[in-house]
Every structure is written in structure tokens, then in C-alpha cells.
Chains A and B, each alone.
Chain A
Amino acid sequence: MDHLANVDAIPRDELKTHVAIALPVLGVMGTQLKETAKQIESAVVDVCCKFQSMADRARAGVSSAAELLSGGDDESSGSVESLISEASRTIETLLRHTQDSVAVSNSAIERIQRVQDATDHITKSLIQLDDITIGNRLLAVNARIQAVYAGDRAAGFGGVANEIAVQAKRSAEIVELIRSVSSDLRHIASSALADLQKMVVEDQKAYLKSKTEVDRVLIDFRLMHNSTRDFIARMQNESESVAKEISGAVRSLQFQDRISQRIAHVVEELDRIKVDLGAHCGGTGTDEQMILKQLSVSYTMQEERNVINGHAEEIDSGDVELF
């Protein structure tokens, strides 16, 4: 259009012809602008939806984690903290039962020791019975001797002496039996006592060891739980920050609305110019198709060519082809 530089020198009819040639271009420009505005709007809406989805998912993720820690609305599920407390109570109960067992064992040890004392007492009593038995035997011997001295007058006396000897012998046998039983009993009691004492010592060690380990595990568990809770609190803050930034981005994307309005105003003006010039020039030139074909040579996108061609060929964006 360089030859239009000195417009005043150009004859009116020739000028009208030049303008008529350019008129179709105005129409196409207007349509291109409208289509562009629509594309921008569509893209911005898509971006906003995706931003919103991202924000929602970030919030939902953090909320679920926080709910897991707190136990949520279902009372039967229990929070992590209440589970830790319950586990702690159960373990304390178990350890208490272990302590009770130790106490029972100590009581049994005490009773066995009393049994041992009783057997000692029996042994001492048996020694006294031995003395009595020896005394009875001596008495029996003396009685026989006296019976011999006394002759026939003391015959019955000899029988009594014999009976005393027999009883002494029987009591000696019973004493021996009791001594044997008492010895066995003492032996059993000693063995049981040793076993019980050993068990008590081992139980006590095991109790102390278990308590130390359980205390350590519960402390570690609590520390880990607190770390997790702190982490989730930080994530909640991060999520809030992300949501705020996304809101900011969505606000910024509203530039699209201002652009759409401005483009619409430009298109309106182009349409008006086209109508006005068309009225003055008596319609478009006969070379409209040629002008438009020249215009399409500069186009690089199918959607641009669709405006000129007047039909919508499929736009294959995102397509990939390896040669």
C-alpha cells in the first residue's frame, strides 16, 4: 500500500477501488479477533478450573491426614493419641499382673519357709521322742531285771516290762517313719523354695526390663506422633498458602475479561468501518478471493485458515508424529 502514501494525489475512483480491495481483510480481521478472544476465554476458564481442583485436592489431602490423627467423627475408630493412651494403660495392667505374680510367689516362698520351720520343729520333737523311747527301753530293761529279782511274785511285772519294750519299739518305728516323711517333706520344700526364689528373681528382672523397653517404645511413639502432627500442621499452613496463591493467580487471569472487552470494541469498530467504507465504495472488490488467498499464505494455524475458508477443519493440536 506504499503507493497510497500521497492520498490527495490519487483520483477518487482509484481510491475507492483500493479501499474496496482492503474491505474483505477488515471482515476477516474482525473474525480472527473474535475467535482469538474466545480461545483466550476458554483457556483461562480451563486454567481456573484446574487451579481450583488443585486447591481442593491439596486441602482434602491435608484434611484427611488431620482427621486420621484426631480420630474423626467416628468414636469407635479412636484417635492416634487415644490409642497410645489405651496401649499404655493395657501395658501397665500387664506389668501390674506380673508384679502381682511376683507378690504371690513371695507369699508362697514365705509359706514354704514356714513349712520348713515346721519340719525343723518336728525334727526337734522327734529327738525328744527318741529320748522318751530310749527311756522306755531302759525302763523295760530295768523292769525285767526287777522282775527277775522279784521272782514269781513279780511275774506280771515282767509282762508289763515286755509290753513297755514292745511299745517302745513301736514308737521308735513310728518316730523313724515320721523322721523319714519329714525329711522328704523338707527336701521337697527346699527344692520348691529354690525354684520359686529363682523364678521370683527372674520375673523381677523380666518385669524391670519389659517396663524399661515399653516406656522407651511409648516415648518414641509419642515423639513420632508429635512430629507427624507438627508436620501435618505445617502442611495445613502450606496448603492454605497454596490456596491463597491460586486465588491470586485466578484474580490475575481475569485479565482475559478486559482483553475480551477491548477486542470486542475493536471488532465493533472494524465492522463499522467495513460497513461505512462498503457503503462509500459500493461493496467489496471483485478480487476478494484473491486478496483473502494472499492473506491465508501468512497464516500458520488451521483455525486461522478456517475463518477464510468458512468451514471448520479439525484442529489437531497436541498431535505427535515421528518421521
Chain B
Amino acid sequence: MAKTVLIVDDSATMRQMVAFTLREAGYQVVEAEHGQDALNKMPLSQINAVITDLNMPVMDGFTYIKSVRAIPSYKSLPILMLTTESQLSKKEEGKAAGATGWIIKPFDPERLLQVMAKVLP
């Protein structure tokens, strides 16, 4: 059965590109515009992994991850950050919030799929 990935990004273009890459590889995709939108959509589908941006309106990526990790059933859900941020301090903050990995934009589709295969064997 196809795995479902939730894409969280305020940029429609970025969501489109990530969705295209994942769908070509056989994943199903759910999209959300920011952290709160993602939290609202998560109970509606069986989400197997999340790819989220950091800087978003309404609810940013770090706040979203902390909220997700507070839900017991999502404690080990793979959550990858996909962001332009490359500062070490931000990465540490992400790791502390509960992120599974950190990908710097622009992403390489092949590398993204390799990482997805690793976190979703």
C-alpha cells in the first residue's frame, strides 16, 4: 500500500515540486499551508511521514513539530525539515524540537527520495 506524506509549506510552488517528486516515486501526498493547517489535516489521513518548512505564517515549523511530538501516536513519526536555513543553531533547535532530519532548499529530488526511503523503509 502506498505511503502517505504530508507536505507543509506556505509556498504553493514548493509544495507542488515536492509533491511531484514524491508522486513520481509512488507516494501519496497531502498538502498543508502552515503548521496549524497541517495539524488540522493529520487526523483525516494515515500520515506516514511529514516534510515541513520552517518559516511559515500562523504556525512555524518548530512550533508545529513540538505540537506533533506532544501527541503520543506521533512520537516516532518521521518529520523532515525542508528549509533555506543552514545555520547550525537553527539545526540544533530543530533537532531539539523533534525533527528527524534537515534538508536545505533547493532540494535534489533523487536525494530527497533516498532520504524518504531511509526514513520510510
Contacts and interface: CB of A to CB of B under 8 A. Distances in A.
Interface of A: 300-302, 315-323
7 contacts: A316-B86, A317-B104, A318-B103, A320-B101, A321-B91, A321-B102, A323-B100
Contacts of B119: 322
B22 to A, nearest CB: 15
A301 B90 CA distance: 11
B48 interface: no
Interface residues of B, number: 25
Contact of A322 (B87, B101, B108): B101
Contacts, number: 50
A319 B111 CA distance: 9
Contacts of A319: 86, 102-104
Interface in B103-117: 103-108, 111-112, 115
A320 B102 contact: yes
A323 B84 contact: no
Interface string B52-85: 0011000000000000000000000000000111
Contacts of B102: 319-321, 323
A296 to B, nearest CB: 11
Contacts of A300: 54-55, 83-85
A318 B115 contact: no
Contact of A323 (B85, B95, B112, B118): B95
B99 interface: yes
Given A300-B54, A300-B84, A301-B84, A320 B103 contact: yes
| Consensus secondary structure, chain A interface | loop
A320 B111 contact: yes
B111 A315 contact: no
3 nearest A-B pairs in the assembled complex, by CB-CB distance: A322-B101, A301-B84, A319-B104
Interface of B: 54-55, 83-87, 91, 94-95, 99-108, 111-112, 115, 118-119
Given A323-B100, A323-B102, A301 B85 contact: yes
Nearest to B112: A320
B85 to A, nearest CB: 5
A300 B93 CA distance: 14
B54 A317 contact: no
A318 B106 contact: yes
B111 A318 contact: yes
Contacts of A316: 86, 104
Contacts of B108: 318
Contacts of A321: 91, 101-103
A221 B109 CA distance: 42
> Which of B55, B104, B118 has the largest number of chain A CB atoms within 10 A?
B104
A318 B112 CA distance: 9
A300 B84 CA distance: 6
Nearest to A301: B84
Contact of A315 (B54, B83, B86, B99): B86
A322 B117 CA distance: 12
Contacts of A315: 86
Nearest to B104: A319
A323 B101 CA distance: 5
A156 to B, nearest CB: 126
Nearest to A304: B84
Given A300-B83, A318-B108, A321-B91, 20 more contacts: A300-B54, A300-B55, A300-B84, A300-B85, A301-B86, A302-B87, A315-B86, A316-B104, A317-B84, A317-B86, A317-B105, A318-B103, A318-B107, A319-B103, A320-B103, A320-B104, A322-B101, A322-B115, A322-B118, A322-B119
A317 B106 CA distance: 6
Nearest to B95: A323
A315 B103 CA distance: 13
